[in-house]
Structure 1
Amino acid sequence: MQFRKDINGLRAIAVIAVVLFHFNNSLISGGFSGVDVFFVISGFLMTGIIFKGVEENNFSISKFYIARANRIVPALAVLCFSLIILGWFFLTPYDYSFLAKHIKGSLTFSSNVMYWKESGYFDTDSYYKWLLHTWSLSVEWQFYVIYPLIIVYMRKVMSIKTMKKTILFVFIISFLLSVVVTYQAPHFSYFMLPTRAWEMLAGGVAYLFPIVLTKRNKIAFEYTGIILILSTYFFISESDLWPGYLAIFPVLGSYLIIQAQRANSLLTGNMLFQHIGKYSYSIYLWHWPLVVVIHYFSLPGFYIYIGLILSIFLGFLSYKYIERHTFKASIFNLRSLLNYKPLMMVLSILVLAILIRSQNGFINLAPEEYKYLINNSQPSPLRGDCHISKYKDPSDSCEYFNENNVSWATLGDSHSTEIAYALAKKIQPYGIGLKHFSYSGCKISFDMPNDFSDCARWYNEAVDYIVNDKKIKNVVINHRFTEGLFGEVDVSSEQHLKQEMTKSTLEMVKSFDEMVLLLAAEKENIYLFYPIPELPENIKDLVRLKYRKRNIPDNIVGTSLQWYQERNKYMIHHFDTAKYPSNVHLLKVEDIFCDSKNCYAVKNGEPLYFDDDHPSLISAAKLIQSIKIN
């Protein structure tokens, strides 16, 4: 397509926002929406290329794919290879292994799926994912693969006019889907193509339905578009559900600027924006790893400015020496395919990534203390198979080891999973089995209506199952009680220490007591664990700080004992004063995780967690020591 200075300047507006947001989100709270601007631009350009070829009957899908690969792959491959080299010298084996995993996702353009499954875009641990930003490249590539195939097929069965109307219709459907799914499954909506396609199709609509404007109206369109985009940058934040209906503002703004076609505008056509626009892809690629460097190595705040300068400088070098390089490709057979350099770059780096991943980041070369901590800060080997995050009939719950003699059961949220496995291993030599009931993030939901929580139906059915199964004699219960009652935790903040009892909270505690009494009346023993302390960071992040100094002590502090007691004061007090029957046993956890001053992530050389709040198998084994089998 003919080069358009206004679109090139719009790229600059997008990348500046994204870069500033990532380095310091207080500067531009909605800067992440610059990615939405990129999507509209991409959709406009791709629709133009494809439709022009289709209308002239000379469109080649293979040439289209090769052109996109030449544009995207080489710079991305060089970035990935650079991270592999730097990672060898500076990353812990655990982090090096995860870098390799993320490189595989990025180079196969599936990283958006990977990050959707791992966590949210704005989560704290996102700052330790070196290639998180490639999720948007994966979405675009998936669009590039599917979009021309659909258009070519459509051309065989319908007219150009009908094709245009169909794309407009799909744009509307995708937008409505995005609005609905953003509320129902925000992580999915953020990362996945079906809920992002409408943004690229908005660019397609701009190409397919151009608007003829007077000079005055062009200016009005452009200024309105700029205002819409900037209002998103400064009035939206990561606390808003995204993309959803709010994304219409940067998308519509980009649409209006593209329709305005103001080639010589001072806003988009100035020399600075033209240069930044040319380097925008490479700037985008390099800026995020520099953000991660600052967080990973806990560098002082002024490094933000160094990072901003380096982002532009590395972006310039990448543009000049990699992006502008012409990779010739005439792929007719296997030999010519193997001579295609971008493909060889990808395959070579993927081999390295697979090797690194297979060797767990070459953990065997690490100090013994580090190897022990990482190898033992592990979840239950049955967590993936037995712990659920959506409804499953309780009768189908896992039974451990001695299925024909199940007389124990565990009930709770994800914090009961490792306890279930440790307990099952303890009772296994006695020929006794255990049935495991756990639901991720499940609040206390006994005797609550199904719409009270995602797990309410399951919770009530699980309790009924345990009560009615006469073979089950003993029940162990563990929840992340305070999180369920008062919300997510931020160990560095005081706000979660101000706990206000609401009607809902009181109802949950009352229903929990009713459940305990019901179970106690039907079973021989009920065991209740006090709340387990929560860490400020993943245990592997805390170990990382010690690893870099090559000094891994026997004890690594997680939080203060005072903070733990303040955070969980309501449930601690409730358990301390509860008047349960004598067959209800309350099990304190402070002696395992804490001393008189602190609660530990690592205590006496042993990892007590596998992340920031779930007990490791080691601490789970300690927790169940006080449970009597006979």
Structure 2
Amino acid sequence: MTIKIKEFRNDINGLRAWAVIFVVLYHFNITGFSGGFIGVDVFFVISGFLMTKIIVSGFEKESFSFILFYLSRLIRILPALFSLCIFLLIIGWFWLPSIDYNNLSTHSLSAILFLSNIKFWREAGYFDAESHEKWLLHTWSLSVEMQFYIILPIMVLFLWKMGGKKAAILGLIFFSIISLLVSYYASPKWPTAAFFLFPARAWEMLAGGLTWFFSRRKKLTWHFELIGFSLIFYSVFFFDTYLDWPGLSALVPVLGCVLVLFSDRKNSILTGNFIAQTLGNWSYSLYLWHWPVVVFLSYGGFLSSHIYVLLGIITSIVLGATSYFLIEVPTRRALSNKSLVVKIAYSLSFVMMASLLSIVAIYQKYEGRINKDLELVASSSNDKNPNGEKCLAASGIKTDISNCILGKGDLKAIVLGDSHADAIVNSVVDSFNGNGSVLELAYAGCPTLIGAKRDGHDCEGFNKYAIEIISKIQQDIPVIIINRSSMYALGTLKGENPASLYGKPAVYFSKKYDSVTKESREEYISSIIHTSCEISKNRKVYLTTPVPEMNFDIPKKLSHDLMFNREIVDIFIEISDYHERNKDVIYAQNIARNNCGVEILDVTKYLCENNKCYGNKGTDVFYFDDDHLSELGNRKLSPMFSGALSR
């Protein structure tokens, strides 16, 4: 009893080539391919088509074997994936600092166990590493596909027993619609979950399965293949990451792929040519190996160099071809005539070896493995408030304030704000020298502004909750308000995530703005004044000026420079640039001081010198990313708080 596809379809192989081309060019930031990420969606449709064909054909002939089906999938996926993970773990041992190597190890384990989509979703918190720091980020799609492979035959069996082929078709249609609705609803509300998780992606694979069912009866003409490719190319050239994805937008490339599959043109010039067939054969290995090359170039700061990008693409193709000829093909040939027991043992050995090596790597502690300065600056990424997980709200869930009273002794101050408040709160605690405690009320990504709204955040609800808590506390306890205020008004810095907020207000009040306008700025200024005055009606209020934002993630920039044998330099911004970025906020704070008596605490007096605001001095790193002060950095503000609170 075997599980195999009897006929090789050139159009599917060629479509794979186009999909991997789009993904590779997108990841290498090639101009014009802003929607190249849809290549993954094309892969999903193809997988659904082929797996449904294998499963249903097996049921029709009463020859389907669950064990053989699952083994065939593991044998197809594991060898090349295993080789990639082992290669990266070996190279990483000699090159990556512990914080990065630990991440690589845990990601290798999740990839081998086909749980990486869930892993990356769970990691996608407020302080998550950027995508170009994750060597195996691209394996999320393999995990989604494997989860589909596990579920689909069970689902088809259940439907088949209910009513045969008709029930299977109706069931797939029903679950496709449900999944599409989940995708539509979740994409704007929970974009990370919608992107990574199976429920919002299943409809794409089920669309491929339904295509196989209906294309058995009738093929479409070549005109529909052209329409299909037109939809795919349109998505590649005109879509971008600003879209809620997958959502309904993914219907465009999915429909395009469906039309190409329906046409079944074996000798199409688009899919049947030599290059398309060659890249189609290499597509899986090329997909696996291209992303680590992208990450390597990102580490070195080479992604903006045309020469390095060209070399990176060529290297990806060479590595993909090598993996195909030395790993994929020999493995399939070696196991094609082996017994079931041998295949099971082979698959399990891959999983067990890779898992064991990943686990060992996770817990590695080897003194002197990496340059001490590199370890020191890289570890600054973790030099953050240890109470952040229990005190920093990030999803609209109210914090348990019993866990967020920091320090010892009587309550002496309340720190209210966003993640910058969480990053700085320990310097307020230190200012009391062990003779006072601080209540932290902080919500990542939300400014302390009454009525402020932000998509995906419960800013309005949290601010109401925080003000209600404060109103129940004795009035002689002051409030210190700390926010990354200018980001909410002006958007993120260039090159910073989320890119969709570059030059666009992050929060809104009466209406949303697509860009920064005079009206949006005036509304924001008024809100700062109004909120400050409201809170100061019954107690003393301190407003800190914004913390200087750096142009780089400081620990990563320094560690990457050391990894490429470059000298460490002191990273700074000019004080004039700081004042230009924050002029609206400082203006509003000064009006609030004049109108309501709030006190302004100027952080630049402690964080800046000689008209420069520093992110580091040598290996002393003052930020744990590009805008949040590290624990070392926030200690520079303790004298400021001590002086203010003792008056």
* TM-score, with structure 2 as normaliser: 0.88
Aligned counterpart in structure 2 of residue 596 of structure 1, from 604, 610, 632? 610
- Post-superposition Cα deviations, 1:30-80, rounded to whole Å, max 9, x if no partner, equal 211111111111000011111122222222222211110000011011011
CA distance in 2, matches of 1:403, 1:502: 46
Count of residue pairs the alignment pairs up:
617
Change (3 A) 1:436 1:331: farther
Residue 552 of structure 2, aligned match among 537, 558, 562: 537
Summarize the Cα distance change of 1:104–1:426 in structure 2 as closer, same or farther, 3 Å threshold. Answer: farther
Tell me the equivalent position of 2:509.
Answer: none
Match of 2:172 in 1: 167
- Given that 1:11 and 1:38 are in contact with CA atoms closer than 8 Å, whether structure 2 keeps it comes out as yes
1:353 aligns with 2:364: no
Give the aligned partner of residue 32 of structure 1: 37
CA contact (8 A) 1:443 1:453 kept: no
- The answer to whether 1:236 aligns with 2:250 is no
User: Structure 1 residue aligned with 2:132, among 122, 127, 130?
Assistant: 127
Give the aligned partner of residue 101 of structure 1: 106
Query: What's the CA shift for 1:364?
Result: 4.9
Q: SS of the residue aligned with 2:571?
A: strand
CA offsets per residue over residues 358-407 of structure 1, 9 Å max, x none? Answer: 237x5753344344434444111111111111223466463325688434
TM superposition shift of 1:271: 2.0
Report if the CA contact (8 A) 2:20-2:287 is conserved.
yes
Structure 1 equivalent of residue 511 of structure 2: none
Deviations 1:111-167 (A, max 9, x none): 2223334449xx993223221211111111111112222222333333321121110
- The residue type paired with residue 234 of structure 1 is F
Matched, 1:516 2:532: yes
Q: How far, CA to CA, are the matches of 2:475 and 2:585 in structure 1? A: 31
- Greater Cα shift, 433-442 or 64-73: 433-442
1:461 aligns with 2:465: yes
Corresponding residue number in structure 1 for 2:295: 292
How far 1:194 moved relative to its partner?
0.9
Contact 1:369 1:552 in 2 (8 A): no
Q: CA deviation at 1:464?
A: 2.4
Deviates more, 1:503-512 or 1:30-39: 503-512
User: SS state of the match for residue 386, structure 2?
Assistant: coil
CA contact (8 A) 2:391 2:399 kept: no
CA contact (8 A) 1:401 1:428 kept: no
Q: CA deviation at 1:254?
A: 1.1
**1:582, distance to aligned residue in structure 2 (A):** 9.0
Aligned residue identity for 2:49? F
Contact 1:229 1:253 in 2 (8 A): yes
Letter in 1 for 2:67: S
1:62 pairs with 2:78: no
Distance 1:140 1:483 in 2: 38
**Equivalent position of 2:622 in the other structure:** 608
- 1:574 aligned to 2:588? yes
Q: Is the 8 A contact 1:79 1:286 kept in 2?
A: yes
| Partner residue of 2:158 out of 153, 158, 167 | 153
Summarize the Cα distance change of 1:444–1:505 in structure 2 as closer, same or farther, 3 Å threshold: farther
Moved more, 341-350 or 196-205: 341-350
Structure 2: runs of 5+ lacking an equivalent = 506-514
Distance 1:310 1:548, change over 3 A: closer
Residues 94 and 363 of structure 1 are in contact (CA less than 8 Å); yes or no, is this contact kept in structure 2? no
Assess if the C-alpha contact under 8 Å between 1:399 and 1:433 holds in 2.
no
Structure 2 residue matching 1:586: 3-state secondary structure:
strand
The aligned counterpart of 1:282 is: 285
Deviations 1:261-307 (A, max 9, x none): 11122221122211111111111111111222222223342122222
Task: From 546, 556, 564, give the equivalent of 2:570.
Answer: 556
Deviations 1:593-613 (A, max 9, x none): 322243222136422111111
- Which letter maps to 2:293? L
Q: 1:179 aligns with which of 167, 184, 203?
A: 184
The question of whether the paired residues in 1 share the 8 Å contact of 2:528 and 2:589 is answered with: no
Residues 100-499 of structure 1 mapped to structure 2, 5 A cutoff: 100-119=105-124, 125-210=130-215, 212-213=217-218, 217-299=220-302, 300-324=305-329, 325-326=331-332, 328=335, 340-359=345-364, 362=366, 364-377=368-381, 378-393=383-398, 396=401, 398-401=403-406, 405-427=410-432, 429-430=434-435, 432-446=436-450, 454-470=458-474, 473-490=477-494
Partners of 2:635 and 2:597 in 1: CA distance: 22
Tell me how far apart the structure 2 counterparts of residues 450 and 118 of structure 1 sit (CA, whole Å): 21
CA contact (8 A) 1:556 1:600 kept: yes
Segment of structure 1 superposing worse, 4-13 or 465-474: 465-474
Deviation, structure 1 residue 513? 2.6
Mapped to 1, the partners of 2:456 and 2:285 lie a distance apart of 47
Judge conservation of contact 2:603–2:637 (CA < 8 Å) in 1: yes
Amino acid at match of 1:168: I
Residue aligned with 2:439, SS: strand
Amino acid at match of 1:269: G
Q: Report the equivalent of 2:508.
A: none
After TM superposition, list the pairs within 5 Å mapping 1:65-80 onto structure 2.
65-80=70-85
For residues 151-201 of structure 1, the C-alpha deviation after alignment (integer angstroms, 9 at most, x for no partner) is 223333333211211101111221222122222222222221111111100
1:452 to 1:584, Cα distance in 2 relative to 1, 3 A: farther
Q: In the superposition, relative to structure 1, how do residues 49 and 601 fare at CA in structure 2: closer, same or farther (>3 Å)?
A: same
What letter is aligned with 1:243? Answer: P
Q: Distance in 2 between matches of 1:405 and 1:41?
A: 64
Indicate the larger mover: 586-595 or 187-196.
586-595
TM-fit CA distance, 1:503: 4.1
Structure 2 vs 1, CA of residues 319 and 176 (structure 1 numbering), >3 Å: closer, same or farther? same
Asked if structure 2 preserves the Cα contact closer than 8 Å seen for 1:443 and 1:485, the reply is no
In 1: Cα distance, 2:268 partner to 2:596 partner = 80
Q: 5+ unaligned residues in a row in structure 1: which ranges?
A: none
Q: Quick one: which amino acid aligns to residue 575 of structure 1?
A: Q
- 1:624 match: 638
Match of residue 90 from structure 2: 85
> Cα offset for 1:565?
1.9
TM-score normalised to the size of structure 1?
A: 0.90
Work out the percentage of aligned pairs sharing the same amino acid. 35
Amino acid aligned to 1:230: F
Deviation, structure 1 residue 508: 3.8
CA contact (8 A) 2:529 2:591 kept: no
In the alignment, the residues of structure 2 paired with residue 23 and residue 519 of structure 1 have an alpha-carbon distance, to the nearest angstrom, of: 49
CA distance in 1, matches of 2:641, 2:81: 54
Post-superposition Cα deviations, 1:551-596, rounded to whole Å, max 9, x if no partner, equal: 665x621433222221112222333454348973321111333222
